Each structure stands twice: as structure tokens, then as C-alpha cells.
Chains A and B, each alone.
Chain A
Amino acid sequence: MAKVIVVTSGKGGVGKTTTSASFASGLALRGNKTVVIDFDVGLRNLDLIMGCERRVVFDIINVINGDAALNRALIKDKHCDNLFVLPASQTRDKDALSLDGVGKIIDELKESFDCIVCDSPAGIEHGAFSAMYYADEALVVTNPEVSSVRDSDRILGILAAKSKRAVEGLEPVKEHLLVTRYNTGRVAAGEMLSVDDIQEILRIPLLGVIPESESVLQASNSGTPAIHLDKSDVAEAYKDLVARFMGEEVPMRFVTAEKASLFKRLFGGR
């Protein structure tokens, strides 16, 4: 049974698109036939992060309006054979995303894909709503600071009240917390909320922690999802995230500051 997973946050700039790209790539690397849909109509970014911006011909609005068949709009990822991108339109506005139209696309995708990842725009307006409406599971991306946590709380409330599952009285959307841009040093210094602080407020299960890292920016600029960066913390953290999502027990890494022991300090690295 195909799963629809929305990557959402409320607040902008917390790492939704970065996460969508890496999460979808990770699912595909594990053998799931995966499609990732950019719902940020008017401000499309996912194609850039995935490095397929030069191959965009048709987009989700073309498909909704019947200008193009769905399979013509899907772009095959350059890293994974079983990963496809459905780009957003750059020129239309969000109102073109009709809920019915999105529903038809998702139903059609469910026939041939295992995982459908919906990259939500920021905010709680129509675009974000249409991204979350059909979700079975939600990856709520939060940065360790109060405004991001508050916005995630708001999104969780909307998911619980207005998603299709909520409206139709089905089993609620399964919620997962993903903390991104986590800097253990700054948490220890009291400048950032800790994972515990965030969970104390949001009270949903933690699926992963992605450390703050400059390599994310380089990955974005080069059009490579961060999960493909060899030997980086971020790639490891995203792989852990995907493993946990697939039901594996993986210990949480990057949560506590590495305490350099006296021994280490004397003799350097590992």
C-alpha cells in the first residue's frame, strides 16, 4: 500500500525542501519506488535541490489542468533510478492547486509508487493545506528555537483537525518529529532548545535529528540532496532517519555534544 508522507513545518527556512529531497532519496536508495512532489507553487525550489531544474517541462499545475499527462511531468532523478520528481509551477499561483486535482494525481501515483513525499510550502495557507490534506504520515520539521516550535505546534493542530483522515474520521495522520539544524554546542550553552525541550512541547515521537552543517548549503547549491554527501554527519543523520521510518531501531546520534575526554584532548582525534 502506497504511503503519502507530507514534509511540513509551518515556518519557512527550517529545512523542509532539503529534508524532502534527502528523505525521498533515502527511501528510493532502500528500494522504494518514490516520487517527491513540490507543492510550493510560485516559489519552486525542490527541482534546484534535486539538480533537475533544467529538465522541467511540465509541472503539477499542467497535470491538474489536463495540459500534460502525469508521466510526462515526472522527472527521473539523476542519482536513483526509482526516484521521480513532480515539480511545482513557477508561474502560477497557489490557488491553481485544486484539492480535487491533487487528489486525482495522488490516486494515480499510488498505483505505481510505494512512497509519495509531499514537500509543503511554508505557512498555513492553501498550498500547505493541499500538501498535507492527503497525508498518511507527517514529518514535522522543526528548528530548535521557540518560533519554529510554535509554528510546528500549529501545523500539528491543523493536521489533527483538517487533514482528510481527520475529516473522514479515519485513523489520524501518523506524526513524526524531525529536528534540523541542531547544534549540540549551542544547546549545551543554552542558546538553542534541546530535543527534550521540543518534545516536551510538541509531544510527538522523535524520528530524527539532523545536525547543523555547512555541507547542507554546498549540497543545495550543487543540486545534490545532502544524503548523498559521503561521510558527512548530515548524510548519516538522514540515513538514520530513513532507517527509523522503515521501522528499524537505530540509536539517536548527534543529540549530545561530544565531550572530548581528557584522553582525547591529550592524544587528539580518534
Chain B
Amino acid sequence: MKILLIEDDTQTSDYVANGMRERGHVVDHAANGRDGLFRATGGGFDIMIIDRMLPAVDGLTIVKTMRGAGIKTPVLLLTTLGGINDRVEGLEAGADDYLTKPFAFAELLARVNALSRRPPIVDESTVLRAGDLELNRLKRTVTRGGKRIELQPQEFRLLEYLMHNAGQVVTRTMLLENVWEFHFDPRTSVVETHISRLRAKVDRDFDEELIHTVRGSGYSLGITG
């Protein structure tokens, strides 16, 4: 995967670039906004990671200009700590996701992976499948091996998100934001509790486990190995 990283802080850019290269990705780094904008509009990247606060041209302007030029490459915006309006402004400018600094590398990786495999046109297929697990979005039903599984609405949404990102790691924060619309860190184990309920219904009576815990990162759904 070819990644464009626009970040002025060398520490952060080294950390991100090294991490991504270790995982076999190609990283192109721009240290200021003007250079970044030039490379971004040049095209040819699978994904862009752009810091919001940049010298010369700021991140929001880069995203707006790029989108104005018709470049649809997925963009992950890095925002400052506690910037309460940053997320909304970033998404309005045309970014696809945002991440607040400082972040865990696993979180960044999970989001980059989720973004890069997101089809250009939103996948709205009616039936999602993972092994013998089937989720029908229209009928709002779930079956495994032909056997009907009854889910609460929030469990259904959780499973739908996991299946939509099947094979990928989804972090706790991604689940909080996308399933519950919680843009803050709850003090109680909301995610863990719902995952364990979902597991009890989806995995307990079957031989193969579909919902996996990825240590230090989050969860993933799919058939192992």
C-alpha cells in the first residue's frame, strides 16, 4: 500500500513511517503543508495521513483543495488533543476519518486498514457473510449454519460493523464511535460487555470461534488461519 504522510513533527512522522514500513507499506513523507498539497494533488496514493496543524498550508485546506480537484483517496486526519470541533470540521472538509493525538499505533493501523479497504462506493450489499454466519441487513436477521440467532438492536449493529470490516482489526474506539456514537472514553466496559454478550449468542454453541480478541488492539471477526 502506498501511503502519503503529511506531518511536520519529525518524532510522530518517524514513528508512523517506520511502523508502516515494518508492515510492508511504502510511505512518502511531506514535512510541510505546501509540499504536502503538491504531492497530494499529484495522486497515486492508496491512503493519506494528514496532520491538521501544519506550517504554510494547514491540513483542512489540503483536504478541501484535493477534494475540489476530484481526488477521492481516503484521508485520515490527525487532530490535536481535545479539539472538540476538529472532528466535525475535518469530516465536513472531506476527510474520511480522524484520530486524536497521541494515539496507539495499533489504533492508527486499524483505521488505515479499514479506510484502505473501504470501497469507493459504500458497500450496501443486503447480506453480509463470514463463514457460516449470515447477516441480512434488510430483514435484520442473523443466522449461523442456518440456525436463527436473536440479537438486541445494539448487538445487531455491533455485529454488522464487525462483519462489514471482517478480517480487519477494529479497535474499541472505532466500535464506540461507529456503533454507539460515543466520541469520548466511557469509564465502564461498554464495549467489552456487549462483545461478550454477542459472543455468547454467536460463538458459544458453535465449534469455530468467529469473534476474536486481538491483544493490545481490539477485535476482529473472521475465520482464523
Partners in one complex: no
Which B residues lie at the A interface, using CB under 8 A?
none
Which A residues lie at the B interface, using CB under 8 A?
none
